[in-house]
Structure 1
């Protein structure tokens, strides 16, 4: 399969790397020192299953995406609209897009631009980071449920699932990917915002009684928003999130924390702002989320001089 990776950071770099290693033709869109390192020595993947160097086309020219079968859309949510607008006049009409971003609002933007039938989505269960330019470090077992936005069977979606499984990434077809993404959003909003504010990994949040209690309050508010929207999530998922984090993610530095430490913009709007706004619209009270949203926004404005 001919695949483009829009945003070859930790998520895009890892999945693009294993797909390239499995024999797919992969074009990586990146920039800066990360791009230069990949051009010079390929993309180094340090994973739980071993280390390898992936080859591919490494570029900052978005026109290189013409003629591809699938785009892994992995840019930060803050860049979704601008990158989608650039791709709109470049991609072939047959090219499909797989959303691999945090949050659940990116699908709406991409559906408006490309049509709902061309957009697939997944919840990316992955612990990875850019160790240094050109090197992705990953641990644990990545998992990818993949599905359409309209809950219909899709032969191409099944083909994408097969391609990922062939590359060694556990993948399966989901008949309700939006519900699955909401479950992932609950995980992210439980740990990402707090970790970014206090600069702590997941284990530190779990071990501190006050931080853990605050994380639980955030989680419950987000769950109530989902419930009011008609998203069918079992209440026991809340405790399962904490149990799973204890087992698999204690040493994990969240993506929002990684962004803050690197001086990059954080995905505040997709993870916090969206839930606050939906809460206001649906008349669901979210006082802890609102406080976290204000604090993070202030931190970002001060540190990035916005």
Structure 2
């Protein structure tokens, strides 16, 4: 009998044995993304082009973290460039030192690094860059080299040592040509099981029931097309940590509901989309916190802070 899979979620970790030894602190939240990145790693050095992967999806689901984890797994240096609104290819090619002289930018630096070292170049949030950057990256990936007269002429990468990881937050489409050249994956929100593991990594005191209260509320909001700022896994981790920190404060139920609503939905215009009554949510959270606090006192004769 075939297992039914909700396409909204990722697969479970048990469905996959990674061919990369990922760091201990990395929790696989999207099996398909891991498979795509593994293929890109194994393809390094094939032909004359660079191996490249484009990770798309909502903010906060671990695209950049995956790039860093893969760098650790293959013993590579990771080099990160954060795109900003209006960023063009010049910012990738050249930078300015304190005294104003031109120095190599992130692309030439990654090329130099690849000559002798395994290198993972993470280009973060392509959406923010000018669309002309897509064509520039396509040429670089296709040729594994650049010609920059100001930096000495031809710069050629060792394509056996250089992996390009481009992340995108689904804010604009990448050009079709760049999509064809990269291995592309749209990373989904994690399953309840995987997101619970992520939360408990930073909040070991949290019970599964406590985690699911927040995850279920977040998933309802993530599915809603009207929500502009959807709650990400890191934001849930932070909100749950903050709940523990303020558990002893004498807050009314209304204050708790306002605190939780702000943590889940920082944009006021999004708050109307929460199906659950904020007061009921606050009551459940506060009661469970009290129970967990008492259990910790009994079990450990003390409360983890």
TM-score by length of 2: 0.28
Relative to total residues, which structure has the larger strand share, 1 or 2?
1
Relative to total residues, which structure has the larger helix share, 1 or 2?
1
| The structure with more radius of gyration | 2
